[in-house]
Every structure is written in structure tokens, then in C-alpha cells.
Amino acid sequence: MATDYKFEGWVGKDKSSAEGKMVWTEYEPKPWEETDIDIKIEYSGICGSDIHTLSSGWSPANYPCVVGHEIVGRAVRVGSKAEGNIKVGDVVGVGAQSDSCLGRDGPCDPCSHDMENYCSKPVITYNSTHRNGGKAMGGYALYHRCPSHFVIKIPPGLDPAFAAPMMCGGVTVYSPLKHFGAGPGKKVGVVGLGGLGHFAVLFAKALKADEVVGISRKASKRKDALALGCDEYIATGDDADWEKKNAGRFDIIISTISSPKAPFNDYVDLLGLDGTMVQVGAPEEPIPLSAFSLIAKRKRLTGSSIGSPKEIKEMLELAASTGLKPWVEKRPMSEANQAIVDMEEGKPRFRYVLVN
């Protein structure tokens, strides 16, 4: 079936793309399957993963590629076998999917599906290859074609521009907060108040944690931290003896730090008995951590990445019901090259969203 629209977007052709040298051009989407949905993109959030991919920072990129896995728009074509009761015209979103297994609540292990080698090769939103051989292309574009399993309706009352960065940045912190019991009776520390960290503060407050404390290096972020809803702020570069004064204070710490030079042992020391530190930031180098930081008080260090479609739906409903408002700066899609440069320089407060 022919369509009356073209798939055009910002294509990264080599490592220089991360320096603002993506090229706007037409590209071929994955071959259509009746389980797919085509989305006319209205908003596409910029995630740090996009830049790591364009620069081949984590691993060699599969150029040419279109990045972007925080996609919100309107369904313009819905396959006859599509999931989710989605209709043409619905406002929908797509996040940082990984269909290594299409279990209803996310990946399952071991896989219970009766398909040969079904889980052998995960497919992600971009920089990957679908099982029908087509390339997975992301959201810095006019249209996006996606398996319907990962397409989620945006609930009424939630601004689509706010929903876009939640599709990766939001669920990356919502999922571990919910999993490790953030809520009444818990004290939560958030290390790093950038794109991920500001979401962690907002969702910890929405989940009604007893105390939410921002932790970052500079005292200059104190005003923003309190404006976001933090009960207190710790400036590790300016507050004397901060690690001693706050030792054993938290039940949960969400670390969004991507620098391997951060004082990880000191962060772990802030945990109380049976406390958990969740690392969601992804440094390109190993992080230094002493085993003795964990041994005392039976602490846990774990990691987390994105979330299942079920968790994304739950997160969006919570955001809509509580009136949660992330700090978003809109940029025209035409400014994508400059926007990723500005992102890398730490200019957004706190998420950029490209607008078609």
C-alpha cells in the first residue's frame, strides 16, 4: 500500500553527526507489516543516548541512522493486526523500546514464546535492524514506523510536548523509583539535576516520598532544585562535610551522573540500612567503587534502563493525574543540529524537545 507521505529526517552518516552535522534527507523505513503503526511526528525529545549513538561513543553506530526515541505524534496508518486499540488520529508516543522479547509487561527471561530464536537479537528504536530486515529509524524526522506493541496512547490532560521526554528520560527514573518502593515512608536522594535528575525529583514527589533531596556539585543549582520541589539541596562542591552530615540518610538514591570522576563511594555512604543506589547515568568508562562502601548496612548498587510499555502507561497516567510538568524547552526540528550541540554543552533546562 502506497502512502502519500515521505519518510524524511536528520540522518547521521558518520561520527561528525554528533558535532551538528546530520543531513536532512529522505530514507527508507522498515518494510510495512500489519502489526505496525505509522506516526506523524509532532514532538521528538533529545536524549543523551542520541549523542552517544551519533558519536559511536558506546559502540560503533550503524550508519546511516536517524536517532530519537522520545516520539509523540498522531497515528496516520494502523495495521490490521496492530495492538492497543489505536485508531488513526490518536495522539500516541513511542519510547526507547527494546523488543528482545514482546512479553506483555516487557522482556521475560526465560522467553516463553514458541518462536524459534525469538529473543536472539534485540531490536531498539533506532540504530538497529528489525526482524524483517528493515532499519530502525528514530524520531528526528517527519514520520516514524514502529511495531504497535510499543505505541502508547497519550492520556487526555497531558501536554504532548511534556509526554515526549517522558518516553525515555521520564521512564528511565520512574521505573526504578516505583520498583524500589519510592513513596510514603521513604527518603529519596537524586544525584545530578539535569534531564534525568529533574524527572527523578518530579516523580519521587508525585509518588509521595517523605523527603526528596537534590544532590549536585554546584551551589548555583540550589534555586532550581527547590523550584522543582526538592525538600533540600546538597552541593557536594560547596557544602563542607556533606558526606558526613548526610551519612545513612536515604533509602533510595537515583544517580544520573555520567562522569566516571564523580565521588560514587561518598554517594553510597549516604544510604541507610538496606538502602539502594540505582545508577541510570551511563559513563563511557568504568566507575570507581569500593566494595566496603556496600558491605556496611547491607546496601545495594543496581542499575536500570527504560521501562516496559505497562510502566510507561502507568507513568503517563500519574503525570496526567498529578499535573506533573517537566521543564521543557521547545526547538524547531530545523534546529536539530544546533540543539544537539547545545545539549552536549549542558545548556537545556532541562530537556530539549524538537517540534515539527
In a domain? residue 3: no
Bridge partners (DSSP) listed for residue 279: 255, 303
pLDDT in tens, the chain (356 residues): 568 999 999 999 999 999 999 999 999 999 999 999 999 999 999 999 999 999 998 899 999 999 999 999 999 999 999 999 999 999 999 998 765 444 434 444 434 444 333 444 567 899 999 989 999 999 999 999 999 999 999 999 999 999 999 999 999 999 999 999 999 999 999 999 999 999 999 999 999 999 999 999 999 999 999 999 999 999 999 999 999 999 999 999 999 998 888 999 999 999 999 999 999 998 778 888 888 889 989 999 999 988 889 999 999 999 999 999 999 999 999 999 999 999 999 999 999 999 99
Nearest Cα residue to 259 out of 274, 276, 237, 242? 237
188 and 155 together in one domain? no
107 and 60 together in one domain? yes
Res 258: pLDDT: 87
45 and 120 together in one domain? yes
Whole-angstrom CA distances from 224 to 26, 138, 319, 327 are: 41, 31, 20, 10
Res 119: pLDDT: 45
192 and 153 together in one domain? no
- From first CA to last CA, the distance across the chain in angstroms is 25
Q: Is the peptide bond before 162 cis (omega within 30 degrees of 0)?
A: no
245 and 342 together in one domain? no
Res 37: pLDDT: 98
291 and 176 together in one domain? yes
Using DSSP, state whether 101 is helix, strand or coil: coil
102 and 53 together in one domain? yes
Residue that is written with C-alpha cell 548496612 in the block: 297
295 and 341 together in one domain? no
Check which CATH number belongs to the domain holding 65 and give it.
3.90.180.10
Res 107: pLDDT: 44
In a domain? residue 184: yes
Check which CATH number belongs to the domain holding 236 and give it.
3.40.50.720
Residue 201 amino acid letter: V
Whole-angstrom CA distances from 236 to 69, 160, 197, 219, 247 are: 32, 35, 15, 8, 13
221 and 293 together in one domain? yes
In a domain? residue 270: yes
Domain range for 40: 8-159+326-355
Angle formed at CA 297 by CA 292 and CA 298, multiple of 5 degrees: 80
Nearest Cα residue to 311 out of 82, 152, 99, 138? 152
Whole-angstrom CA distances from 11 to 8, 30, 50, 60, 163 are: 9, 15, 12, 16, 24
17 and 151 together in one domain? yes
Res 221: pLDDT: 93
17 and 73 together in one domain? yes
248 and 349 together in one domain? no
In a domain? residue 103: yes
In a domain? residue 311: no
Number of domains in the chain: 2
In a domain? residue 12: yes
In a domain? residue 312: no
In a domain? residue 69: yes
pTM for the structure as a whole:
0.91
Longest dimension (CA), the chain: 66
